Amino acid sequence: MPEFQVGDITLEIDEDGFIQEPDAWDEAVAKALAKTEGVDELTEEHWKLVNYLRDYYLEFGIAPMIRKLCKATGFKLKKVYELFPSGPAKGACKVAGLPKPTGCV
Amino acid sequence: MKKSTAEDSRSHKAQVVVDRLGEKLNRQIVGSLVACVHCGLCTDSCHYVLSNPGDPTYAPAYKADRIRKIFKRHYDWTGRVFPWLVGAETIMTDEELEELKDIAFGKCTNCRRCSLNCPMGVDFATVNRMTRGLLVSVGIMPEGVATVSKDQWEIGNQMGVLKEDYLETLEWMEEELQDELDDPSARIPVDKRDCAVVYSINPREAKYDPRTIGDAAKIFHAAGEDWTMPSDGWDMTNFGLFSGDDELGGAVARHLFDRVQELGGKKLVISECGHGYRSTRCEAPNWAKYDVPFEMESSVETMLRYVKEGRIKLDKTRNSEPVTFHDSCNLARSCGMTEEPRELLNLVCTDFREMYPNREENYCCTGGGGAMSMSEYTPRRLKSGKIKAEQLKATGAKVVVTSCHNCVDGLTDVIRHYELDMKVTQLVNLVAEALVIEKPARAPAVAEELPLAGRRIVVADDEPDQLLYLATVMEDYGATVYQAATGDEALELARKEKPDLVTLDLSMPGRPVTEIFELLRSDSELEGLKICLITGRPEMRELIYQRMEIPPDGYLDKPLSEDDLLRGVRKVLELSHQEG
SS3 for B514?
helix
Q: Is B528 left (phi over 0), alpha (psi -120 to 50) or beta?
A: left
How far, in Å, CA of B335 to CA of B360, rounded?
Answer: 9
What's CA B355's distance to the chain center, in Å? 26
Which chain A residues are closer than 8 Å to B151 by Cβ? 102-103
Cis peptide before B559, with omega less than 30 degrees from 0?
yes
Would you say residue B50 lies in a domain?
Answer: yes
How far, in Å, CA of B415 to CA of B402, rounded?
Answer: 14
Q: Which of B241, B273, B308 is the last residue of a domain?
A: B308
DSSP secondary structure of A26-65: -HHHHHHHHHHTT--S--HHHHHHHHHHHHHHHHHSSPPP
Nearest residue on chain A to B142, alpha-carbon basis: A102
Q: Are strands A9-12 and A3-6 parallel, antiparallel or unpaired?
A: antiparallel
B76: domain CATH number is: 1.10.1060
Q: Are strands A3-6 and B227-228 parallel, antiparallel or unpaired?
A: unpaired
Dihedrals φ, ψ of B200, to 5°?
A: -115, 150
Would you say residue B446 lies in a domain?
Answer: no
Do B176 and A77 count as a contact with CB atoms less than 8 A apart?
A: yes
Which chain A residues are closer than 8 Å to B172 by Cβ? 67, 70
| 3 state SS for B170-211 | HHHHHHHHHHHHCCCCCCCCECCCCCCEEEEECHHHHHCCCH
Do B209 and A89 count as a contact with CB atoms less than 8 A apart?
A: yes
pLDDT of residue B576: 57
Shortest CB distance from B158 goes to which of A66, A87, A104?
A104
Closest CA to B149 of B331, B141, B199, B102: B141
Expressed as residue numbers, the domain containing B205 is: 154-308
Which chain B residues are closer than 8 Å to A87 by Cβ? 208-209
B520: domain CATH number is: 3.40.50.2300
Residues B475 and B375 in one domain: no
Do A105 and B144 count as a contact with CB atoms less than 8 A apart?
A: no
- The secondary structure of residue B347, as a DSSP letter, is H
Residues B191 and B230 in one domain: yes
Which chain A residues are closer than 8 Å to B237 by Cβ? 104
Model confidence pLDDT, tens digit, residues B129-170: 999 999 999 999 999 999 999 999 999 999 999 999 999 999
A 1-40: CB under 8 A from B: 14-16, 18
Among A53, A104, A105, most B C-beta atoms within 10 A, so best to mutate, is A104
Residues B427 and B492 in one domain: no
pLDDT of residue B6: 62
Which chain B residues are closer than 8 Å to A101 by Cβ? 159, 207-208
B106 in A contact zone (CB under 8 Å): no
How far, in Å, CA of B337 to CA of A99, rounded?
Answer: 36
pLDDT of residue B542: 80
B 209-238: CB under 8 A from A: 209-211, 237
Do A15 and B207 count as a contact with CB atoms less than 8 A apart?
A: no
Would you say residue B147 lies in a domain?
Answer: no
- Which residues are registered as beta bridge partners of B353? B324
Q: Which of B372, B403, B434 is the last residue of a domain?
A: B434
Which chain A residues are closer than 8 Å to B204 by Cβ? 89, 103-105
B337: domain CATH number is: 3.40.50
pLDDT of residue B442: 46
Would you say residue B352 lies in a domain?
Answer: yes
Give the pTM: 0.78
Residues B261 and B387 in one domain: no
Burial class (CB in 10 A: 0-12, 13-18, 19+), B144: buried
pLDDT of residue B372: 93
Q: Which of B84, B115, B141 is the last residue of a domain?
A: B141
8 A C-beta contact, residue B243 and residue B146:
no
**Under 8 Å CB-to-CB from A68, ≥6 apart: which residues?**
A56, B165
Residues B294 and B320 in one domain: no
Average pLDDT over residues A3-26: 89
How far, in Å, CA of B328 to CA of B300, rounded?
Answer: 13
Residues B182 and B216 in one domain: yes
Do B161 and A103 count as a contact with CB atoms less than 8 A apart?
A: no
Please count the structural domains in chain B.
Answer: 4
Alpha-carbon distance B379 to nearest alpha carbon in chain A (angstroms):
7
End-to-end, the C-alpha distance of chain A in Å comes to: 21
A86 in B contact zone (CB under 8 Å): yes
pLDDT of residue B7: 64
pLDDT of residue B578: 47
Choose, from A62, A102, A104, A105, the residue flagged as catalytic: A104
Q: Is the ipTM of this complex over 0.95?
A: no
Which chain A residues are closer than 8 Å to B161 by Cβ? 65
Helix (H) or strand (E) holding B423: strand B423-425
User: How many Cβ contacts (< 8 angstroms) between chains A and B?
Assistant: 81
How far, in Å, CA of B420 to CA of B411, rounded?
Answer: 10
Instruction: Work out the angle at residue B250's Cα, subtended by the Cα atoms of residues B248 and B255, and round it to the nearest 5 degrees.
Output: 100
How far, in Å, CA of B12 to CA of A86, rounded?
Answer: 44
Which chain A residues are closer than 8 Å to B379 by Cβ? 15
Residues B392 and B336 in one domain: yes
A89 in B contact zone (CB under 8 Å): yes
Would you say residue B445 lies in a domain?
Answer: no
Do B144 and A16 count as a contact with CB atoms less than 8 A apart?
A: no
Average pLDDT over residues A81-97: 92
- Which residues are registered as beta bridge partners of B483? B459
How far, in Å, CA of B494 to CA of A88, rounded?
Answer: 51
Do B209 and A66 count as a contact with CB atoms less than 8 A apart?
A: yes
Total length of chain A: 105
Residues B230 and B116 in one domain: no
Among B109, B154, B159, most A C-beta atoms within 10 A, so best to mutate, is B159
Instruction: Using 50 as the pLDDT threshold, list the residues of chain B that sit under it.
Output: 441-447, 577-580
- Provide the edge-to-edge strand list for the sheet that holds B352-353: B352-353, B323-326, B399-402, B423-425
pLDDT of residue B580: 37
Shortest CB distance from B203 goes to which of A86, A87, A103?
A103
pLDDT of residue B1: 52
Q: How many CB atoms lie within 10 A of CB B548?
A: 7
Closest CA to B24 of B89, B83, B75, B65: B75
Do A65 and B207 count as a contact with CB atoms less than 8 A apart?
A: yes
Closest CA to B28 of B137, B164, B122: B122
Would you say residue B447 lies in a domain?
Answer: no
Would you say residue B439 lies in a domain?
Answer: no
pLDDT of residue B384: 96
Model confidence pLDDT, tens digit, residues B476-497: 888 999 999 999 999 999 999 9
pLDDT of residue B52: 94
Would you say residue B55 lies in a domain?
Answer: yes
pLDDT of residue B224: 96
Do A89 and B372 count as a contact with CB atoms less than 8 A apart?
A: no
Residues B73 and B178 in one domain: no
B 242-271: CB under 8 A from A: none
How far, in Å, CA of B374 to CA of B379, rounded?
Answer: 11
Residues B284 and B321 in one domain: no
pLDDT of residue B270: 98
Do A88 and B202 count as a contact with CB atoms less than 8 A apart?
A: no
Residues B571 and B467 in one domain: yes
A70 is known as an active-site residue? no
pLDDT of residue B443: 44
8 A C-beta contact, residue B399 and residue B321:
yes
Closest CA to B252 of B156, B136, B144, B137: B156
Residues B225 and B251 in one domain: yes
8 A C-beta contact, residue A84 and residue A92:
yes
How far, in Å, CA of B311 to CA of B287, rounded?
Answer: 36
How far, in Å, CA of B268 to CA of B227, rounded?
Answer: 10
Do A65 and B379 count as a contact with CB atoms less than 8 A apart?
A: no
How far, in Å, CA of B122 to CA of B127, rounded?
Answer: 9
Burial class (CB in 10 A: 0-12, 13-18, 19+), B219: buried
Do A66 and B165 count as a contact with CB atoms less than 8 A apart?
A: no
